[in-house]
Amino acid sequence: MADSFGPVHDGNATDCPPGPGGEPIRVLVVDDHALFRRGLEIVLAQEEDIQVVGEAGDGAEAVDKAADLLPDIVLMDVRMPRRGGIEACTSIKEVAPSAKIIMLTISDEEADLYDAIKAGATGYLLKEISTDEVATAIRAVADGQSQISPSMASKLLTEFKSMIQRTDERRLVPAPRLTDRELEVLKLVATGMNNRDIAKQLFISENTVKNHVRNILEKLQLHSRMEAVVYAMREKILEIR
């Protein structure tokens, strides 16, 4: 793993807003590399308004720790054994609703960014950022802001512009008719559910869900789940409440 952090700089910690009630911002660090977790803990210990309250080595452990510790911020990797960070996001939001999740990862794949946002992450940062930027991002997210690495934000905007253009080009074409079951699946996709969760919700197999999603994309002549949701909302095939 190519973890890259710049030197630690002292100085502005006490000038930034602390956590709720004037207390330090409580952070749970989640990464499958113990050395990286320890390094982050040492770095963040330099910040007077940030306190690392726990650490976890995978998504499953992160959910348990989040339930016990109720952190303000969960700083979590995407790819980990047993249970990945994106999959853990939804569960963490259930057991610690007030916790805000920042993905800190080497993955610059657009799919991971989209999935993380849909799963409830408030930030998505690449590990190429400096130590100062990590602390700044923690403070910003604790203060209610979203944080995305510039290169990933650019990809996100480009993809949304592309999706809007493609849906605009299709507006004069009658919307294909989806079956009632396909509409059910599409609505659940729009809530951020994965295939496994949709299968449980509808009492069907995961393979059946995959077939429905494939049929939806083919009918709408689209390439991704996100495109399908955007198109459906634009064409009023589906209303998300």
What is residue 164's predicted lDDT score, i.e. its pLDDT? 57
SS3 112: helix
Measured CA to CA, the distance from residue 194 to residue 206 in angstroms comes to 10
CATH class of the 13-149 domain in this structure: alpha beta
Topology of the domain comprising 171-234: Arc Repressor Mutant, subunit A (1.10.10)
Banded model confidence at residue 174, pLDDT cuts 50, 70, 90: low
What is residue 4's predicted lDDT score, i.e. its pLDDT? 39
How would you write the chain as a 3-class SS string? CCCCCCCCCCCCHHHCCCCHHHCCEEEEEECCCHHHHHHHHHHHCCCCCEEEEEEECCHHHHHHHHHHHCCCEEEECCCCCCCCHHHHHHHHHHHCCCCEEEEEECCCCHHHHHHHHHHCCCEEEECCCCHHHHHHHHHHHHCCCCEECHHHHHHHHHHHHHHHHHHHHHCCCCCCCCCHHHHHHHHHHHCCCCHHHHHHHHCCCHHHHHHHHHHHHHHHCCCCHHHHHHHHHHCCCCCCC
- Between 153 and 182, where is the model more confident? 182
The DSSP result for 85-103, as a single string, is: HHHHHHHHHHH-TT-EEEE
CATH 1.10.10.10 positions along the chain are 171-234
Both structure tokens of 60: 């499953």
Say which DSSP state 3 is in.
Answer: -
Measured CA to CA, the distance from residue 54 to residue 69 in angstroms comes to 8
The neighbouring-strand residues paired with 148 are 124
Q: Would you say residue 32 has pLDDT above 60?
A: yes
Both structure tokens of 29: 């660090």
Banded model confidence at residue 15, pLDDT cuts 50, 70, 90: very low
Q: In what helix (H) or strand (E) does residue 181 lie, and over which residues does it extend?
A: helix 180-190
What is residue 118's predicted lDDT score, i.e. its pLDDT? 80
Banded model confidence at residue 13, pLDDT cuts 50, 70, 90: very low
- Between 172 and 199, where is the model more confident? 199
User: Nearest Cα to 63, choosing from 35, 20, 99?
Assistant: 99
- β-pair type (25-30, 73-76): parallel
Q: What percent of the chain has pLDDT over 90?
A: 46
- Render pLDDT for 36-83 as a digit per residue (tens, 0 to 9): 999 999 999 999 999 999 999 999 999 999 999 999 999 999 999 889
Q: Would you say residue 16 has pLDDT above 60?
A: no
Q: Would you say residue 94 has pLDDT above 70?
A: yes
User: Nearest Cα to 54, choosing from 39, 37, 32?
Assistant: 37
CATH 3.40.50.2300 positions along the chain are 13-149
What is residue 5's predicted lDDT score, i.e. its pLDDT? 39
What is residue 14's predicted lDDT score, i.e. its pLDDT? 39
